[in-house]
Amino acid sequence: MTATQETIDAVRADVAKLHELLVRYNLVIWTGGNISGRVPGAELFVIKPSGVEYDDLTPANMILCDLDGTVIEGAHSPSSDTAAHAYVYRNMPEVNGVVHTHSTYATAWAARGEAIPCVITGQADEFGGEIPVGPFAIIGDESIGEGIVGTLTGHRSRAVLMQNHGVFTIGSSLRDAVKAAVMAEDVARTTHIARQLGEVIPIPPQSIDALFDRYQNVYGQKDTP
């Protein structure tokens, strides 16, 4: 199956538009951070251009790449994290969106090399347990992608704190990956504040399982035939 130009254009529009949420939720500053989305029906993905300010992002300046990270279409250089995104898409076929931020509280946990423990129900709902730490890796090649895949494979979390770097999230859809980035920062902030007040209370594993199952399978509105 080959993606039509209409499909590619739709992903370009979604990737450009959803960057607005990173700004809205204070997850990025200046030109840092990026979003990418897989193109359905093709070995392609769309990613933010490197060093372009968020106010200047448009569907037209999003970069189309193949799953080796080679630019197929685009007038700008792609994000410096393109190789990492490409590695994720090649090795996690269930992933359709990848987000990277340096959001303040989550990145502070990453700087400590410390996983965010599951001590609030919202984290159990969204991530099914702790948000883990991935290894330190240099930007620009597949090393970060290898760390993301190695850490999140078999893990319920859709977020990983890459040590000394920042946050990467994955999702079954582009919007799902963005939501994970928003929620990761929220639980990082709340848990940090709680620890300033004293010891936090872990949620028992069986309760985490029950909360995760309810949120993933019962919560919200379901599609009707």
- Residue 223 in any domain: the answer is no
Token representation of residue 19? 């960057």
* Separation CA 133–CA 159 (nearest Å): 9
- What is the structure's pLDDT at 123? 98
SS3 state at 169: strand
Measured over the CA atoms of residue 147, residue 175, residue 86 and residue 50, the dihedral's sign is negative
What's the pLDDT score for residue 225?
A: 40
User: Token digits for 124?
Assistant: 């159990």
pLDDT given for residue 29 in this prediction: 96
User: Residue 113 maps to which CATH number?
Assistant: 3.40.225.10
Cα end-to-end span (Å), the chain: 27
In the sheet where 133-134 sits, what is the strand order?
71-73, 63-66, 44-47, 34-38, 97-101, 166-171, 159-162, 133-134
Is residue 114 one of the residues assigned to a domain?
yes
Cβ contact 51:71 at 8 Å = no
**pLDDT score, position 222:** 67
In a domain, 59, yes or no: yes
What's the pLDDT score for residue 17? 97
Full domain range(s) for residue 74: 5-217
pLDDT at 218: 83
Number of domains the chain contains: 1
How much is the pLDDT for 219? 75
Q: Which own/partner contact pairs does 53-57 have at CB distance under 8 Å and 24+ positions apart?
A: 54/19, 54/20, 54/22, 54/23, 54/28, 57/16, 57/19
Average pLDDT value over all residues in the chain = 95
Residue 151 domain-assigned? yes
Residue 224 lies in a domain: no
Percent of the chain with pLDDT over 90: 93
Which amino acids are annotated catalytic? 125, 219
Residue 20 lies in a domain: yes
SS3 assignment, position 204 = coil
Q: Where are the beta strands (DSSP E) in the chain?
A: 34-38, 44-47, 63-66, 71-73, 97-101, 133-134, 159-162, 166-171
Kindly state whether residue 225 falls inside one of the protein's structural domains.
Answer: no
**Can you tell me which residue has the tokens 């987000």?**
99
The residue behind tokens 């995104």 is 85
Residue 11 lies in a domain: yes
Would you report the helix, strand and coil content of the chain in percent, each value rounded to 5?
45, 15, 40
Q: Give the chain's residues under pLDDT 70.
A: 1-2, 222-225
pLDDT reported for residue 224: 42
Q: What is the CA radius of gyration of the chain?
A: 17
